[in-house]
């Protein structure tokens, strides 16, 4: 995916402001995550900066720390608090780079790379001078994650988000976003016990891709399915209300 720093700055801000809404949900049984990650999601749902900072301090492993920092950055973006946002992104990216360099098991490495792709992409949106640099790092992380685990639901979800948000001129493709979202939803059907976030979010993004293709009824059905999985998912509610 080729980008320019100016375009990436505009598009990635949109990605992660929407992402903040994406975590405004309760984790249903179908997408149960490990306790600490679930608690991080709930704190992010409440836009609770202090709790997210505490979760970062209490993190039991590198992924939990990075995920808490990433969600802290997303929450700070909604609050327009770049003083919190930028250090959180840097902390998340640094810890993920360390985790990946330690050569963890393939599954954890793919998860870390997918989260790194999102983190680097968000940095591209908030560091316009380095937009191209961070955009390339985001692309590389996603490509490596895909090579490792092409059917990992969060890897395919990240691919869907980026394909949807990037302008066509710079490699974005709404049809590709739909294909990636389909793959993510299929992958989420597999049992999950540890890193499991994103199932309801995948339905929201597939709905957006369907709407872009002119299938409004299909989009509504997906947003309703997102609410079946996560009844308090405010983004899906807003999309249905505005449809």
Kindly report, residue by residue over 77-130, the tens digit of the pLDDT.
878 899 999 999 999 999 999 999 999 999 999 999 999 998 998 888 888 888
- Measured in degrees and rounded to the nearest 5, phi and psi for residue 24 equal -80, 70
Give me the mean pLDDT over the 5-20 stretch: 47
Into how many domains does the chain fold? 1
Residues 6+ apart with CB under 8 A from 108: 63, 99, 195
Residue 13 has pLDDT above 60, yes or no: no
Tell me the residue range of the domain where 173 lies. Answer: 5-242
The Cα–Cα gap between 243 and 238 comes to: 9
Average pLDDT, the chain: 84
Kindly report, residue by residue over 35-69, the tens digit of the pLDDT.
788 788 777 767 789 999 999 999 999 999 999 99
CA dihedral 239, 233, 79, 172 (to 10 degrees): -50
pTM above 0.75, yes or no: yes
What is the model's pLDDT at position 170?
66
Question: What is the percent of the chain with per-residue pLDDT over 90, rounded to a whole number?
Answer: 57
SS3 219: helix
> What is the 8-class DSSP label of residue 80?
T
CATH number of the domain to which 86 belongs: 1.25.40.10
Determine contact, residues 178/210, Cβ cutoff 8 Å: yes
């Amino acid at each position: 995916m080729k980008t320019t720093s100016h375009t990436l700055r505009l598009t990635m801000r949109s990605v992660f402001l929407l992402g903040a809404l994406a975590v405004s949900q309760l984790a249903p049984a179908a997408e149960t995550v490990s306790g600490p990650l679930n608690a991080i999601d709930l704190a992010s749902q409440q836009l609770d900066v202090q709790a997210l900072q505490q979760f970062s301090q209490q993190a039991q492993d590198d992924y939990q720390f990075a995920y808490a920092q990433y969600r802290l950055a997303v929450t700070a973006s909604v609050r327009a608090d770049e003083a919190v946002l930028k250090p959180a992104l840097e902390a998340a990216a640094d810890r993920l780079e360390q985790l990946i360099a330690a050569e963890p098991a393939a599954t954890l490495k793919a998860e870390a790379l997918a989260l790194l792709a999102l983190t680097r992409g968000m940095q591209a949106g908030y560091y316009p001078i380095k937009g191209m640099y961070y955009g390339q790092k985001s692309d590389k992380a996603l490509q490596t994650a895909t090579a490792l685990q092409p059917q990992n639901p969060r890897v395919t979800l990240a691919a869907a988000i980026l394909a949807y948000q990037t302008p066509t001129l710079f490699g974005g493709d709404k049809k590709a976003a739909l294909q990636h979202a389909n793959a993510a939803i299929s992958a989420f059907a597999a049992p999950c016990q540890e890193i499991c976030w994103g199932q309801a979010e995948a339905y929201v993004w597939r709905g957006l891709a369907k709407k872009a293709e002119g299938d409004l009824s299909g989009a509504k059905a997906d947003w309703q399915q997102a609410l079946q999985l996560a009844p308090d998912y405010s983004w899906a509610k807003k999309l249905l209300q505005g449809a």
